[in-house]
Structure 1
Amino acid sequence: MKKTKHEKPPRRVTMTDVARLAGCSQATVSFVLNNATGVTISAETRGKVIEAARTLGYGASSLIHRPVLGNLGSGTIGFLCDQLATTPESVNAIEGARQACWDEGATILVAQTMGNPEREEKAVEAMLRSGIEGLIYMTIFTRQVAPPSFLENLQIPVVLLNCYAPESRFPSVIPDEAAGGFAATETLIRLGHRRIATIVGEPFMQAAQDRLKGYRKALAKAGIAYDADLVGEGNWSPTSGFEATQRFLALKDRPTAFFCQNDKMASGCYNALRDAGLRIPQDVSVIGYDDDELCRHLRPQLSTLILPHRAMGAWAISELGKRRTSGKDSYPLTKMDCNLIERDSLAVISQ
């Protein structure tokens, strides 16, 4: 149809449009879409940029259109997880895998097994009958596992997500929890804090152990003596965060900052601080971990570290595309950064 003189041709979508929708700079969009090396960009920001580019139809991105499935083709991927409903991490990992498959037309079949070996084998048998070309094996808690023996004999590639096996028999990816604990603590140190309390999760869990290792490493690097009185044991719940914070506030020399090793404990910490008449961040700084949805609903909004499960899911899909067989070689363990998301709960310590 002939255009009238009043009609304008449709405007071409630009990187500026993508940046505006993603809530970041044009430079960040360029780095993400061109897969620039040597630039550290959080998994959350990367995901926002890619999703914004898709929404707007910006088609110049090699990240969006590259064939991440490699020689797997455009078939079906199996995703085996012990738990789906406990936390959002498994859903985020599945979503990351789905996004990586987006342009390939691949389908992901998901099964929850509750860690039952018999159910795991039956689930994989059903997936194989459906023609899966690769399998992702995930645990909800980061840990070393003894993968089911039947995985060794599969004629399709297998990747471990959020867990790893002895002797690195399969490609594996986990969050770098020690680096995350270090980053959280170092951030508070850079703001001038020296009395930094930490509330850890259940100590038998590797995530709690590694986050505490990172905390201690950051203190040591800054020349700050480790003080056991500033380490409180929690159980990942708001109540445990509340009670641990009350104990810290009873100290003669109370902390000026809190590193809560998950966001739910941080929410309990918030309540205890308010009950004590302390303001966040004017009197006390607080940092959490996980980037739970509640971070954006606390007042002030909670600074936290993001668990990279979405990026880990995308990595797993990419890794599946590299191999036809699994379990025959030794693979290095891949660790992904838990990047800081700075919101309104941090401030330079007042002198």
Structure 2
Amino acid sequence: MNSRKTTKRVTMMDVAKAAGCSQATVSVVLNSVTDIKISPELRERVLNVASSLGYGMGSPIRRAGLEDLRGGCIGFIVDQLATTPEAVNAIEGARHASWENDVTILVAQTQGRAEHERKALARLLQAGAQGIVYMSIFTRRVSLDHAFDTLPVPLVLLNCYTDDDRFPAVVPDEMTGGRMATSSLIKKGHRRIGTIVGESFMEAAQDRLAGYRGALAEAGLPYDGRLVVEGSWTPTSGFEATQKLLSIEEPPTAIFCQNDKMAMGCFTAIGEAGLRIPDDLSVVGYDDDELSRHLRPQLTTLELPHRPMGAWAIGQLANKTTSSPHRIHKVGCTLIERASSGRPAVRKP
């Protein structure tokens, strides 16, 4: 009988729980990401907690693990680069996780076409790529081309996953994100909270809506289908959906827009109705798009964790994990409180 004691590996989630912050914040701190603003006090607290818990030796993002890749390169295959900043943020997170070890990142855009993926894969391997990160611009299940079946280097999936869980995969924790956005409004006293969802076939829209419903249930608030309007991720759809929400008999006191572009349209509709944000109506977005800081008032939103996801992917390549199946790794979103959300106005009877 083996009497050796098995020690549970400390995870980023353990550090986040003990430090009282999100897993995304822990990832940013431990990866020394400098272009995301985190207070010195919070940064020090995370580092102290990580040290006290013994986090590090088994960390998938520990820089020392990248020494085997030193002087080499990693290939990124992504379907789209130009439509949204998520792909660029993920690549930037990967760069931060690898630059000290002189690892070059080569990027190929394929528009999701199998023939382009095969050519990109062949050329990345020819260039000496020691690992491949395969990324989808929106979270989804993917069916990989057969060219990925017998790769001579590790493969990690970013923002996507396969049915058979053959490869390490990382996605945002969208359900928890939707719950956080809704709960932030409930904590401010809102009881009639509308939500504008994205296209319902997308997993992000489904999970954010599930999080919204979960937050209502946890607070003992009834689900009202009239408060849920489908949009298409665009400002125009946010504008039109907000008009619908404002026209119902008992309109909401707050609206959770499931991306920032729809929130921009929501702002316009609220203004045209002669209402003020947040005095008459609170608004929360999602994504932390650049526009969220230029709206007036600035938009409370959730930051998608693509930078820490990119860093996690690089760490998995360094680990060269070959055992399967792999559990999908979910990274939490961060709520960014700004001026667009407040307590509900007292309405006259």
**1:341 and 2:336 equivalent?**
yes
Q: Which amino acid aligns with 2:277?
A: I
TM-score, normalised to structure 1, is 0.83
Aligned counterparts of 1:107 and 1:157: Cα–Cα separation in 2: 16
Query: Residue 21 of structure 2 corresponds to which residue in structure 1?
Result: none
**Which sections of structure 1, spanning at least 5 residues, go unmatched?**
1-17, 40-61
Alignment of 1:1-351 (within 5 A): 24-32=38-46, 36=50, 66-323=63-320, 326=322, 329-351=324-346
Aligned counterparts of 1:65 and 1:204: Cα–Cα separation in 2: 36
TM-score, normalised to structure 2, is 0.84
Aligned counterparts of 1:114 and 1:26: Cα–Cα separation in 2: 41
Q: Deviations over 1:184-214 (max 9, x none)?
A: 0111111111110000001111100110000
Counterpart of 1:213 in 2: which secondary structure? helix
Aligned counterparts of 1:331 and 1:223: Cα–Cα separation in 2: 36
Q: Which amino acid aligns with 1:307?
A: L
**Cα-Cα RMSD:** 2.3
Aligned counterparts of 1:288 and 1:198: Cα–Cα separation in 2: 10
The 3 A distance-change label for structure 1 pair 28 and 282 is same
Aligned counterparts of 1:278 and 1:217: Cα–Cα separation in 2: 29
Counterpart of 1:36 in 2: which secondary structure? helix
Identical counterparts, % of pairs: 57
The 3 A distance-change label for structure 1 pair 68 and 28 is farther
8 Å Cα contact 1:134/1:320 also seen in 2: yes
Q: Deviations over 1:48-80 (max 9, x none)?
A: xxxxxxxxxxxxxx9999324253333100000
Deviation at 1:31, TM superposition (A): 3.6
Deviation at 1:24, TM superposition (A): 4.3
8 Å Cα contact 1:68/1:317 also seen in 2: no
Aligned counterparts of 1:306 and 1:163: Cα–Cα separation in 2: 18
The number of equivalent residue pairs is 309
Query: Residue 42 of structure 1 corresponds to which residue in structure 2?
Result: none
Aligned counterparts of 2:138 and 2:297: Cα–Cα separation in 1: 29
Q: Which has the higher Rg, Structure 1 or Structure 2?
A: 1
Counterpart of 1:286 in 2: which secondary structure? strand
8 Å Cα contact 1:64/1:103 also seen in 2: no
